[in-house]
Amino acid sequence: MLSQNMLQFLRDLSKNNNREWFHENNERYQIAKKEFEQFITLVIMEISQFDPSIKNVKPKDCIFRINRDIRFSNDKSPYKTNMGGYIVPGGRNAGNAGYYLHIEPDNCFLAGGIYMPPADRLKAVRTEIYENTDQFKEIITNKDFIKQFKELSVEDKLKQPPKGFPKDFPDIDLLKYKHYSVLKTVSEKVVTSKGYLKETVDAFKTMHPFIQFINEAINYQLGKDQ
């Protein structure tokens, strides 16, 4: 179970986002970090029951560093004000679809899929949807999927059909997504409750066929091109 102390640390960090404050409160950070790592460990164990590709993933390969990369950013705040974990085959930098937890005061959510994929992977997913439309539609119209996530993320969605696909394709709208991802917001009350682990695992279990479709698309389509 995640605690109010973690959320309070992140809330305080957002008001004092500087190295001096962070160093003075490093002990609080270490406690929050360990708590998050323990929770991610439990989630990995639960996910591996229905998604064997997660079985050998380690928490350290999932959790994002709290330090921000400020080299090319106008915002020079040195630290992120959230804790995030991306549970995915091959680790968070593998470029595969996976399961994401985001803990941040007033902005906690569960998400999954593939976000900002490179052009070759995005094309692979679109090609797989084009070739196996009914299978994909069955996944995203499943009643439990809709109950959990409503719809795919429409962020950056194209207004025109993507290049390389026929404009008269009946389900062309399914190929206009730039990110094949879903999201579910979660209240802080739920995050700090005993039921949060079950809430997380249930959402990810519902998400699993979606994740599997994307990763199989990438492996198959890119494998054909090699």
- Mean pLDDT calculated for residue range 100-118: 96
Could you tell me the pLDDT band of residue 34, with boundaries at 50, 70 and 90?
very high
Percent above pLDDT 90 for the chain: 88
Q: Give the pLDDT confidence score for residue 224 in this predicted structure.
A: 66
The total number of structural domains in the chain stands at 1
Which of 162, 121, 159, 112 is closest to 139 using CA atoms? 112
Q: CA–CA distance from 31 to each of 10, 41, 148, 179, 184 (Å)? A: 12, 15, 31, 34, 27
Q: Which residues constitute the domain of residue 87?
A: 4-225
Angle at 214 between CA 209 and CA 215, to 5 degrees: 100
Count Cβ atoms below 10 Å from residue 10 Cβ, excluding itself. Answer: 21
**What does the alpha-carbon distance between residue 65 and residue 153 come to, in Å, rounded to a whole number?**
25
Count Cβ atoms below 10 Å from residue 103 Cβ, excluding itself. Answer: 23
Backbone torsions φ then ψ of 83, nearest 5 degrees: -120, 130
- Mean pLDDT calculated for residue range 37-41: 96
Cβ contacts of 60 within 8 Å, gap of 6 or more: 37
pTM for the model stands at 0.94
- Mean pLDDT calculated for residue range 93-115: 95
- Residue 211: CATH number of its domain: 3.30.930
Which of 223, 221, 208 is closest to 88 using CA atoms? 208
Could you tell me the pLDDT band of residue 72, with boundaries at 50, 70 and 90?
confident
Q: Give the pLDDT confidence score for residue 225 in this predicted structure.
A: 57
Model pLDDT for residues 188-221, shown as the tens digit of each residue: 999 999 999 999 999 999 999 999 999 999 998 8
